[in-house]
Amino acid sequence: MAGYDNLQQVAQVLKSNGTDGELVMGFREIAPEDINLKEPVFIVFDGLPVPFYIESFTKRGNTKALVRLTGIGSMEDVEEITGKAVYIEEDQLPEMSLEDDGYAALVGWMLLTPAEDFSTALEMTEEPALIEVGEITDFLDIPKNPCIEVETENGAVMIPLHEDFILSVDPEYQEIIMQIPAGLL
């Protein structure tokens, strides 16, 4: 959403629950309980984010919640927003850490790779030159083959997140250096 770079999608309105404006919201990226109920959520109408406050919130499973929003009081109101994305301000997102959240915490980090063969660079006395591959935009927890999705200058690329490829992880600068196999970029 141009002009609203401080908003991050965290959920989607899935359907109504009853006839009095209660709705089912499906969450992604964060758990439902991580929503700050005192801050507004935003739904885009005609290209503009409109704030809604949460009046009631009941968690349902790991990724859904029953929600009542201000200004949404009927099944017709819910039908108007069904399927729409729900955003919060980025500074409301919970801090993620590798210890608590595993590789999912890498989303938003920068992926770097050595500019030359890393084994040759290890023999040198100076640090190898690094190339910025792109920002990690997603973590896919595929059984026995976890991957990260990286937004490169040529589009999105999926890269296996295998421990043999990881050269270093820097939580302070939110960077990961990987030796990326030939042909993946």
* pLDDT tens for each residue of 56-83: 999 887 788 999 999 999 999 999 999 9
pTM of the model: 0.52
**Rounded distance, CA 145 to CA 140, Å?**
9
Q: What is the 3-state secondary structure (H, E, C) of 46-115?
A: CCEEEEECEEEEEEECCCEEEEEECCCCCHHHHHHHCCCEEEEEHHHCCCCCHHHHHHHHHCCCEEEEEC
Tally of domains in the chain: 2
Q: Which of 75, 91, 107 is the last residue of a domain?
A: 91
Domain end marker among 66, 91, 116: 91
Do 103 and 165 lie in a common domain?
A: yes
Instruction: Judge if 103 and 86 occupy the same domain.
Output: no
The pLDDT tens digits of the residues spanning 133-177 come to 998 888 888 888 888 889 888 888 999 988 889 898 888 888 999
The domain that holds 14 is classified in CATH as 2.40.30.60
Please indicate, yes or no, if residue 155 is contained in any of the structural domains: yes
Residue 2 lies in a domain: no
According to the model, what pLDDT value does residue 94 have?
59
Confidence of residue 2 (pLDDT cuts 50, 70, 90): very low
The answer to whether 67 touches 57, Cβ cutoff 8 Å, is yes
Does residue 32 surpass a pLDDT of 90?
Answer: no
- Could you tell me which of 160, 38, 53 has the C-alpha nearest to residue 111? 160
Among 91, 124, 141, residue at a domain's last position? 91
Q: Which range of residues forms the domain containing residue 173?
A: 99-178
